[in-house]
C-alpha cells in the first residue's frame, strides 16, 4: 500500500505543469490576492490540491502543507453554520492554529460551538497541545477532527499529544472513503459550466483507511 517516495511534480504539488495553464489557474483562483488564511464565503480549494494533498498514502512524500476544511455550527438564539478551508502555506502558523486565531478567536460562554474539521493529516504536537488547551478552557466547544493521514504517529511524543486531545474531548477519526467524497462535494471547486463531477476514489483508498484506523486504535488502546 505504500506509495513510492519520489520527487513530486508540480502537478502533484497542486501546481499546474504548464505555465500557461498556471496563469489561467491564478486568474481563476486569485489566491495571490488574498491575505494569509482569509476565508472567502463559498471558496473551494482547487481539485488538483485535493487529489494530491488529501490522498491517504502511508508515505506522504512532498505533502508538506496542511489543508483544513471546516464546518462551524454556532448555536445560540439562532443557529449559524459557516464553512471554508485553510492552508498553512503563506504564514508561519499552522492551519489548526490559524483556525483558532482567525476563524474562532473568541468563544462566547453563552453559545455552543460544534466544529468538524476535515484535515489532510493529523496535527503536530504543538497544534495538538493547543487544541487540548482550547477544549479544556472552553467546555462549550465540541471538536471532531477527520484526518486523511496520521502525522508522525510512531513518535511517543506525538502519541501522547493525541491521547491528551482525546482526554480533552476531541473526537479524532480517520477519513473513510465517504468522508473524502463529502469533502469533494462540499469543499472542492468544480469547473464552471460543468455539472459537479462525481468523486473517483483512488485504488488503495479503503486499504489505507483501514491501515490508519488500526494505527489510531493502537494509540488509543
CB atoms within 10 A of CB 9: 11
The DSSP output letter for 199 is: P
The grid coordinates listed for 99 are 483556525
Torsion of CA 142, 148, 152, 155, to 10 degrees: 50
| 125-137 helix and 156-167 helix, angle to the nearest 10 degrees | 20
Q: Is 87 a catalytic residue?
A: no
The DSSP output letter for 10 is: T
Catalytic residue among 6, 32, 38, 96: 96
Q: How far apart are CA 221 and CA 218, in angstroms?
A: 5
Residues with active-site annotation: 96
Amino acid at each position: 500500500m505504500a506509495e513510492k517516495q519520489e520527487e513530486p511534480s508540480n502537478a502533484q504539488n497542486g501546481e499546474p505543469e504548464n505555465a500557461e495553464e498556471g496563469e489561467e489557474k491564478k486568474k481563476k483562483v486569485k489566491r495571490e490576492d488574498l491575505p494569509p488564511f482569509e476565508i472567502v464565503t463559498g471558496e473551494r480549494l482547487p481539485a488538483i490540491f485535493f487529489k494530491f494533498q488529501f490522498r491517504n498514502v502511508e508515505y506522504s512524500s512532498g505533502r508538506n502543507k496542511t489543508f483544513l476544511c471546516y464546518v462551524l455550527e454556532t448555536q445560540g438564539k439562532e443557529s449559524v453554520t459557516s464553512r471554508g478551508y485553510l492552508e498553512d502555506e503563506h504564514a508561519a502558523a499552522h492551519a489548526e492554529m490559524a483556525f483558532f486565531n482567525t476563524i474562532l478567536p473568541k468563544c462566547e460562554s453563552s453559545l455552543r460551538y460544534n466544529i468538524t474539521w476535515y484535515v489532510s493529516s493529523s496535527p503536530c504536537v504543538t497544534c495538538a497541545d493547543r487544541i487540548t488547551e482550547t477544549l479544556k478552557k472552553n467546555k462549550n466547544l465540541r471538536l471532531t477532527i477527520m484526518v486523511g493521514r496520521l502525522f508522525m504517529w510512531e513518535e511517543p511524543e506525538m502519541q501522547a499529544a493525541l491521547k491528551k486531545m482525546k482526554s480533552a474531548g476531541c473526537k479524532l477519526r480517520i477519513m473513510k472513503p465517504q468522508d473524502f467524497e463529502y469533502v469533494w462535494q462540499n469543499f472542492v471547486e468544480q469547473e464552471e459550466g460543468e455539472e459537479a463531477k462525481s468523486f473517483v476514489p483512488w485504488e488503495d483508498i479503503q486499504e489505507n483507511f483501514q491501515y490508519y484506523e488500526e494505527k489510531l486504535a493502537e494509540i488509543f488502546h
